[in-house]
Each structure stands twice: as structure tokens, then as C-alpha cells.
Amino acid sequence: MKITPLKNSFDISFTQLASDKSISHRAAIFSLLSKGENHIKNYLQAQDCLNTLNTIKALGAKVENINDGEYIITAPDKIISANKILECGNSGTAMRIFMGLLAGIKDEFFVLSGDMYLNERPMRRITKPLSSVGAKFYGRDNANKAPIAICGQELNYFNYHSPIASAQVKTALILASLQNKGAIISEDELSRDHSEKMLKAMGANLSQKIDKNGKHKITINPLQAPLNPLNISIPNDPSSCFFFGVAAAITKNAKVKFQNILLNPTRIQAFKVLEKMGAQISYEKNACLYDDIGTLTISAPQEGLKAVEIDDKISWLIDEAPALAIAFACANGTSVLKNAKELRVKESDRIAVTINALKACGIKAQELDDGFIITGDPQSKNLKPAQIDSHGDHRIAMSFAILGLRCGMEISGAEFISTSFPNFKQCLDSLYGDQNAKF
């Protein structure tokens, strides 16, 4: 992908960018625990989410494609062993959640695999706690790397404190315990909580509290009956919208409005950081279907973005960190992100890849073990186009496409954008107006 510099400002309203990837995965997977027809509209038509639909079909679900992005999913009476490898593509979310779901299905056998990048990502954060209560996983590096084979077992009750705040880990453990003897799961910092909200709305018996030590605890009681089926229209993904939020924040006199966007507080923290940097942002809730949904508007600050230091609520903005780095690179001053070591084990080592790419663009940037330090170039005095390798990471590719609006950019591995945001190029093209954009 080759990006040409943007010569104009823009004022644009998006009604449809990309449906929420996290909610799409969960809607399909959670439907396996329900009875009746699950009606899902606006399901993300990206390769990773389509892989998830193929996986639930292989597990016995009936999936009817009503219209583009609209499905009726009927769960099987019992999840069955698949007669093929279950492909998760590039999605750590899908693989980890399926691992939790399938680990406790007694006497069944499953194999999960992904692409060359996913199969190098750590899975012990799932296999270790579940193996301690009876689950059986087999894979490379002592079941830390896929392909992962699962021999379903009856699992014991467990009380587990997660050393990392991870919505993927939490969701996997919730699904495993729901089907067996229950659990208590705790984490120091609340991770993104859309799974709990969706499952409770479907009838799962979950309770949440903060204990005297400040830990977030979830008590999960075993299912006594199948969950109620979903009836959901999936909102726009704030993580995907954030790329265009950054585009507005770094472009003088620009403004962008996102409609039908998920406004869960644990999903819009990156926008709160942009606010701290000076961007003008408004939030308008206008619906609540399993979670808050509404309109979000961003305008570029007249004096440009200012530097910021971020070291808390990192689990709420971990996916947006590469795009935040682009905002840092265009801000006045030196910005710092800390406590984000999880970035090392995403689709790529997002700390190293981001910093190396920024240096190639003429930006002063430094790796930390758990984050980065970036000195901005708000006037683009040293900013220059570069050839960037995405390392198979869709968020790296999209982030540097946004920086390319300032200086031009050539990105290899841009095809991985389709795993989460298939119409990204079309949305990017709309920013150029009458200008001839080249991609």
C-alpha cells in the first residue's frame, strides 16, 4: 500500500466503518451456549470473524446467512468434535476464547491453529490455569504455541488471579467455568468487560465486585440451563474508528463524526487520551443494546496536540497503542507510554515494530521494556516518508497509513488489514475528497 500526503482538511461523518470485532467474535461463540435462534446483524465481514463462523459450524452450529452481515445462528444440542483443524487465522481473541470454551467439553477432541503469526503468540496464559483444574492441552513449547490440541475434560471449580488484565483470558476462563463447576476470577485492573455484560444479558449467573484490596472479582456460577439467544445489531468498533480519530486530531481544522459506535468505557480510553492531548471530543449516548452505543465527534485542536504521559488503564487501550504512537509523533513535546508490556506479544512486537518504523520516518523515539518514549514533530520538519513492514500486524499497517496522511508512506503487508477492517482503504480514500489518493 502506498499512501500519498493529504493536502486538504476534512469534515466527515461515518455511519459505517467496521463493526466491532470483539463483539462479533463473542456473539458467534456465545451463541453456542444458547438455545433457540440467535439473530446477529452487522456482523463484521472480516476474515478473522468469518473464520469464527466457520469454526462454530464445524462444532455443530447451524449458521444461516440472511443478508450481508446478518446471520441466524442455532446452537447444536451438544458441541461435537470437529473432523478438521479449526482455523483462527490471525485472531488471538478467537483462539483464546475457543480454548476456554472447548477445554471443558468432556470426551471431545479439538485442534486450533492459525496463521504463521498467531501460531507464535503465547497461549500458556490460558493453558496453565485451566490445566491446573483438569484441562488437557497439547502443543509446541509445552502447549504455549499453536497448533493446540484439546482433549475436553470435566473441570474442577477454581479461584484464579490473573497476573495480566486481559479480556481474552478472562473470557476464556468464564466460558470454561460456566460449563463446569464455576469459579472466581480476579484481576488487579478491570480489563474490557463486554463479555460479562453480554453473558449476563443472556442469563448467565455472574456477579462482580471490588474487594478490600482493590482487586476486581467475578464470581461465576455454573449454567443450569442454556443461555437465552442473542438479538443484537453490532455497533461500530471504537478501536477501528480510533485510526480516523487520530487522523482528525493530527490534521489542522479537521473534524470527524462516528455514528453507531460502542461507548463502553473500557473501549474508549484511547479517545480519552486524545482529549488529554487537546483534541475536542464529544460523546452522545443514544442507545443501549447489551452495551452503550452512540455518537462520537472529534475536532483537531487549534494549537495542535500536546504531549502526554500514560501509565494507567493500559488494558483499556492496548489495541490502540500503535495509533496513539502516531498521535504522539505529531504532538508538541515528548510523550510516554508505560506498563504496556503486553504489546510485546500481540500480532507483532508492537513496541519494537512501532519504534523502528517511527525512526525510519525521522521521528525521535525510544523503546522501553514496557512501552515507548516519543518526541513529536508537530510541524513535520523532520518527518519523511518511509517503507514500513507491518510484520503481519493489521494495526501497525493502519497506524502508519494514518501517519502517511502527513508525509506519504509505503507499507508492505497491508493485506492483513482485511483481518479486521476490510473497508479501511475506502474510508481512508473518503478523507481526500477531490484530491487524487493513491493506495
319 counts as catalytic: yes
Decide: 377 and 363 in contact? Cβ < 8 Å.
Answer: yes
Known binding-site residues for phosphoenolpyruvate equal: 21, 92, 121, 168, 350, 395
The Cα 172–Cα 155 span in angstroms is 13
Catalytic residue among 48, 292, 319, 377: 319
CA distances from residue 322 to 108, 273, 356 in whole angstroms, order as listed: 39, 13, 12
Beta strand pairing status for 364-368 and 371-375?
antiparallel
Instruction: Return the SS3 of 129.
Output: helix
Known binding-site residues equal: 21-22, 26, 92, 121, 166, 168, 319, 346, 350, 395
Beta strand pairing status for 387-389 and 409-412?
parallel
Cα within 13 Å of Cα(100), Cβ side: 26
Instruction: Return the SS3 of 9.
Output: coil
Decide: 58 and 86 in contact? Cβ < 8 Å.
Answer: yes
Grid cell at residue 439: 493506495
The Cα 44–Cα 364 span in angstroms is 37
Known binding-site residues for 3-phosphoshikimate equal: 21-22, 26, 166, 168, 319, 346
The 10 Å CB-count burial string (b at 16+, else e) for 427-436 is: bbeebbeeee
Catalytic residue list: 319
